[in-house]
Amino acid sequence: METFTPAREFVANSGYADARQRALAAMDLAAIDAPIKDIVEEFAAIPCCFTLQCCYGHFVSEAGQDPHNIERVPSDFEGTVTYRIAYMAFCLQNSSRGRALWQSLARLSAVDPDYIQFGSADWFWERWANSYALQVGPADYMLQDKAMLSPPEAQRTQSARDLLFAELRALLASTSCE
């Protein structure tokens, strides 16, 4: 997501229904990071959106550690932590319900504005009009998909990630686009 930009305005998208159907048919739940699989499944049930890509966010603190691990950074770790950003990218329907969901998603960045960003990404927008992303990382790294962090900053990022996914679950519990 190196081309992360401010959230764009909705545009007409007559191909939304077909794109959603193709995305849902191609979805491989086995490839989704286990801690957020439930979120992706629940978004798949909402007709005014579909998930494009997602990542739980991975912290690598030891040489040879699996770069896709879901482990927390050890509290006593003293080295540099490589962080691959946590994010969820969505395509939203240009409808009153899609725009309402857009507003709800955009508000989530306010729960921790220094670490949670909402916007668009050129790469997604070029393929799916009305695509938006929530991502987690220190604001200084918001244009990158990977960052080198100190242990305290990595632990702070972990907290923001956990908060975002908890907020997404709460949003899903109260959202419908039917």
**In this predicted model, what pLDDT tens digit does every residue of 40-97 receive, in sequence order?**
999 999 999 999 999 999 999 988 899 999 999 998 999 999 999 999 999 999 999 9
Structure-model confidence comparison of residues 178 and 52, the more confident one? 52
In a domain, 18, yes or no: yes
Q: What is the pLDDT of residue 144?
A: 85
- Helices (H) and strands (E) in the chain — how many of each? 5, 8
In a domain, 155, yes or no: no
In a domain, 109, yes or no: yes
Q: What is the pLDDT of residue 3?
A: 64
| pLDDT tens per residue across span 27-44 | 999 999 999 999 999 999
In a domain, 72, yes or no: no
In a domain, 154, yes or no: no
Structure-model confidence comparison of residues 143 and 87, the more confident one? 87
In percent, the amount of the chain with pLDDT more than 90 equals: 85
Average pLDDT estimate for 130-135: 96
Q: What is the pLDDT of residue 142?
A: 86
**pTM over cut 0.85:** yes
Q: How many domains does the chain have?
A: 1
Whether pLDDT at 17 is above 90: yes
Q: Mean pLDDT over all residues of the chain?
A: 93
In a domain, 80, yes or no: no
Residue 171 tokens, joined: 């949003």
29: nearest Cα among 49, 45, 48: 45
Q: What is the pLDDT of residue 176?
A: 54
Residue-number span of the structural domain to which 102 is assigned: 4-58+86-144+161-173
In a domain, 151, yes or no: no
In a domain, 123, yes or no: yes
Q: What is the pLDDT of residue 1?
A: 44
Q: At 87, is the secondary structure helix, strand, or coil?
A: strand
In percent, the amount of the chain with pLDDT more than 70 equals: 97
7, 132 Cβ separation under 8 angstroms: yes
Q: From CA 19, how far away is CA 150, in angstroms rounded?
A: 40
169: nearest Cα among 72, 59, 41, 49: 41
Whether pLDDT at 177 is above 70: no
